[in-house]
Amino acid sequence: MRSRQANSSDTEGSAFVKPSCDGAFREQAEAGGTCSDRIERFLSICESKASFNAIITPTPEIARAQAEHSDQLLKKGKPRPLEGIPFTVKDNFCTDGIRTTAGSRMLAEFVPPYEASVTKRLWKAGAVMLGKTNMDEFGMGSSTTSSYFGPTTNPVAERLGLADIVPGGSSGGSAAAVAADMCLASLGTDTGGSIRQPASFCGIVGMKPTYGLCSRWGIISYASSLDQAGVLAKTPKDAAITLNVIAGEDPLDSTSFTGTYPDFEVGLGKDIKGKKVGIPKEFLHSQNTAHTQIVWDELERKSNLHQFEIVEVSLPNIPYALQAYYVIALSEASSNLARYDGVRYGHRAENVESLEELYEKTRSEGFGEEVKRRIMLGTYCLSAGHYDQYYQRACKIRTLIKQDFDRSLETVDVLTWPTTPSSAFSSKQHTNDPVEMYLQDIFTVPVNLAGIPAMSIPVAKCERGLPLGLTIAAGQLQDAKVISVADRFMRD
């Protein structure tokens, strides 16, 4: 395994490396015609599929300029790792001179004067930006229905003739864009499953890296100790290539990883015969549904096919993960969103007579119902008399959950379980009771609490033909192992 030093200039001067196995990026790189021609085709697809509402802000002129620059470098024989590859970007990544809304009225007209570290690396590596994708407001949701700019629909469901099916959230616009062939990959963020759950619902690959592997600088914060940039793509290989570009130390982010990390393509195509795959018994026995059983059955089939060993492991504190996650996430959201007061930037209420009224009306008008609900709950958890009872106790549970993962991963190579308790649901479901929606995250939030890498891959379909995802997780900085196992699973 070759190592890569984590540094902020990691992608500069890189030579194009032929992918080690098939994937959408390779097909694009080897396709005929110029980058400009290919990007025009993708822009046409984006325009024709605007009804999905996957993109908030299209950027066709920027895409054309980037594609033209790619063509010039290709003529000179100096291609970069992602030369001419069409990407979209979730609308909570700040993009210099391009509207960045986080799906909220509060930031509906916000144009950042700076670029997020991760997207800056993406453009330096030759990627082409087609637009900023829709999302649940400030990343708070599991359906992409809470966006100020309207809901996104599920392209897979549309092809099946199923109406009003959500793409998942909060990176639902990114997942829908990839699934609808509007781009080859998209950047998303994952706080409690916001990459993996929509990837599962849309039948694509979603990778949440180790916490700190990708810089958070320039990402509009939801919950700082949980947020992590990641990739939605067609294949694990495409995710690996992207991760090789966007990962690395960032002096602007004090939580970014500062050591060395492996090349994420190193395990692609390798045999996984004899690997030990752990199944958490808490998920297998107490959280089983008709749809998760389909995934468990497919996992058993693959275990026979690849001759790997299934080992039942225990994560005894997992039953408390969802409660601990929401206390921590909502508390941090309450703190992070305090900056939106109508004074410095963003939406500002009019016809106010005092500073207090300005704050109150701005926040009432600028935030949607779900965001206001989470801010109030988070503020309550941090208030005097409740901080120890809720927030500190949740942090202690988080430590126990991380220890559970560490202990179980000493005996197996990877852990695996269904990504979601069901296939994609109707936008009218789970609307009357917020807790029902929160329960959709029961399989995804534990890895965010532990800070470990995880990928969702499509492995089966439900009775209606909607995709079902399988999660593969490993220890911290074992992202390459996750990708390797996922790659082999998807080949058969």
Q: Which residues have a catalytic role annotated?
A: 90, 170, 194
DSSP letter assigned to residue 320: G
Alpha-carbon torsion (308, 314, 317, 322), positive or negative: positive
Could you give the 3-state DSSP secondary structure of residue 339?
helix
Residue type at position 281: K
Question: How far, in Å, CA of 246 to CA of 323, rounded?
Answer: 32
Q: Name the burial class of residue 310, with classes exposed (0-12), middle (13-18) and buried (19+) by CB atoms within 10 angstroms of its CB.
A: middle
Q: Name the burial class of residue 194, with classes exposed (0-12), middle (13-18) and buried (19+) by CB atoms within 10 angstroms of its CB.
A: buried
445 near 325, Cβ under 8 Å? yes
Q: Name the burial class of residue 144, with classes exposed (0-12), middle (13-18) and buried (19+) by CB atoms within 10 angstroms of its CB.
A: buried
Q: Name the nearest CA neighbour of 81 among 138, 127, 39, 148.
A: 127
3-state SS, 180-200, equals CCCCCEEEEECCCCCCHHHHH
Q: What share of the chain is helix, strand, coil (3-state, %, to 5)?
A: 40, 15, 45
* Exposure of 445 in the CB half-sphere (CA atoms within 13 A): 24
CA Rg, the chain, in Å? 21
Question: How many other C-beta atoms lie within 10 A of the C-beta of residue 421?
Answer: 17
Question: How far, in Å, CA of 206 to CA of 483, rounded?
Answer: 10
Could you give the 3-state DSSP secondary structure of residue 373?
helix
208 near 228, Cβ under 8 Å? yes
181 near 233, Cβ under 8 Å? no
